[in-house]
Amino acid sequence: MHLFTIKKLARLAAGCGLIAWAAAGWTQALPPTVEEALQSAGIAADGVGIYVREVSAGAALLELNAATAFNPASVMKLVTTDAALELLGPTYAWKTRAYGGGPQHGDVLQGDLIIQGSGDPKLVLENFWLFLRRIRAQGIREISGKLVLDRSAFADSVHDAAAFDGEPGEPYNVGPDALLLNYKSIGLRFSPDAAGATVQVSVDLPFAGFRVAAPALSNGNCGNWQDALGAQFSADGIVFNGAFPAACGAKTWYLSPYWISDAEFFGKVFRQMWQELGGSFNGAVVDGRVPEDARLIAEWSSQALPEIVRDINKYSNNVMARQVLLSLAPELPPLPASTWRGAAAIRAWLAGKGIAAPELVIENGSGLSRFERIAAGTLGRMLVAAFHAPTMPEFIGSLPLVGLDGTMRKRLQADGVAGQAHIKSGSLDGVRSIAGYVLAASGRRYVLVCLINDRNAARARAVQDALLQWIYQNG
């Protein structure tokens, strides 16, 4: 422990009642409220990593197992997004381009329409519709050739949507794609009609040739209503062999149609939206590359990076974080982006800041992983450096504000720290983590990292809330 830390804790002990707590073979002082919460939760000392430091101080105020590698869960998104803001810059945007693979005669494109993606994390329906409108605005109505999807910006990889938790239909398990469209997710809206003993089902996505057969209506309790539907998936649609409980009222089920390929998904949406815009297309949808002689027809620019980062951190969007990690891959040499190249860029970026991170393991950059690891001290030092970087306003502004918004909106609402801390949280089975910034009542600002890996981690909320409140009151 740093001498500064020992002296500081000794001074704080007199006024704040800090007591010693044995951990990992040595003694570290912890605030009594935090120690009591840990003991009450039954969380072992060696399963906790803590790092607290004033942003302008030379040493940590509080450290516990700060050099030990922990699974950070979604707090890993802070590493990915901070690196992106600094390496790509706050004006960075992704481009999606449409090319013509043949001449245009009147309103007919005599050849293929090629769409080239660069990994836009937020090519949602409304943005895609506007992009297609730009193509139509060039006078193109009919496409006589194929729809060619150029997704070569990202390296080819096989993504198993069931690998993480056996739930391939969950939207958070969608893999990266250079032409990711609407997060490859759909929403099924169920509206029961008890009087008519029927259920209305609608899909909030224009999906050509995709049919959904409504389930029967039941009088059971709501319970696990999704399993009760008995959904059977195919490329042509969804059939429900079960029933929807009337007691549920209106419900929406968001899922990813993992059973069809990314190209099929893109093609089905394109066909329907193109038709709705008055266009005509009956060709095949294939993967390919932009030919050298193709002419640019239209271009769509994503939101600027800070807006993307805000969505990732405020709402813990795993799919968008994966997209950003791949986008960090160096552009030279011109090789397809890959996870390992993005991870290498982060390692080099940290090393350039003088932050050694030998324990760092990056699997996908989102924290939705059993393998990702980082130490509380590494993450804490990165957060200190981020506070002094030119992109500090964009980065801190992307974090949930305790008690007010994002994933922290329901925590500590009635405590003094509410509205005074920007904190990213993370959770997995056996993992609970928080990290970010606390503006103490004294006016001083602190970096906080608390990573908990323990079989009782689900009980850790009181521990983390006590630590946040203690920093606010005593920092």
**pLDDT on residue 209:** 84
DSSP 13-77: HHHH--EEEEETTEEEEE-HHHHHHHHHHT--GGGEEEEEEETT-SS-SEEESTTSEE--GGGHH
Characterize the bridge pairing of strands 48-54 and 198-203.
unpaired
Residue pLDDT tens, the chain, 475 long: 443 343 344 344 433 433 333 333 333 578 999 999 999 999 998 999 999 999 999 899 999 999 999 999 999 999 999 999 999 999 999 999 999 999 999 999 999 999 999 999 999 999 999 999 999 999 999 999 999 999 999 998 889 999 999 999 999 999 999 999 999 999 999 999 988 889 999 988 888 888 898 999 998 899 899 999 999 998 888 999 999 999 999 999 999 999 999 999 999 999 999 999 999 999 999 999 999 999 999 999 999 999 999 999 999 999 999 999 999 987 667 789 999 999 999 999 999 999 999 999 999 999 999 999 999 999 999 999 999 999 999 999 999 999 999 899 988 888 899 999 999 999 999 999 999 999 999 999 999 999 999 999 999 999 999 999 999 999 8
Return the sign of the alpha-carbon dihedral for residues 351, 356, 362, 366.
negative
CATH superfamily of 95-159+260-302: D-Ala-D-Ala carboxypeptidase C, peptidase S13 (3.50.80.20)
Q: Which residues contact 456 (CB under 8 A, 6 or more apart)?
A: 41, 42, 43
| Residue 268 falls in which region: left (phi positive, over 0), alpha (psi -120 to 50) or beta | alpha
CATH number of the domain at 3-90+307-474, please?
A: 3.40.710.10
Alpha-carbon distance 136 to 140, whole Å? 5
Query: Residue 264 half-sphere exposure, CB side, CA atoms within 13 Å?
Result: 12
Alpha-carbon distance 149 to 113, whole Å? 9
Alpha-carbon distance 65 to 380, whole Å? 12
Q: What is the dihedral of CA 101, 184, 175, 315, to 10 degrees?
A: 130
**pLDDT on residue 331:** 63
**Residue 137, Cβ neighbours under 10 Å: how many?**
10
**pLDDT on residue 6:** 37
DSSP 374-391: EEHHHHHHHHHHHHTSTT
Alpha-carbon distance 326 to 328, whole Å? 5
Q: Rounded to two decimals, what is the model's pTM? A: 0.91
Q: Which residues contact 50 (CB under 8 A, 6 or more apart)?
A: 30, 62, 63, 64, 65, 66, 376, 449, 450, 451, 467
CATH 3.50.80.20 domain position(s) in the chain:
95-159+260-302
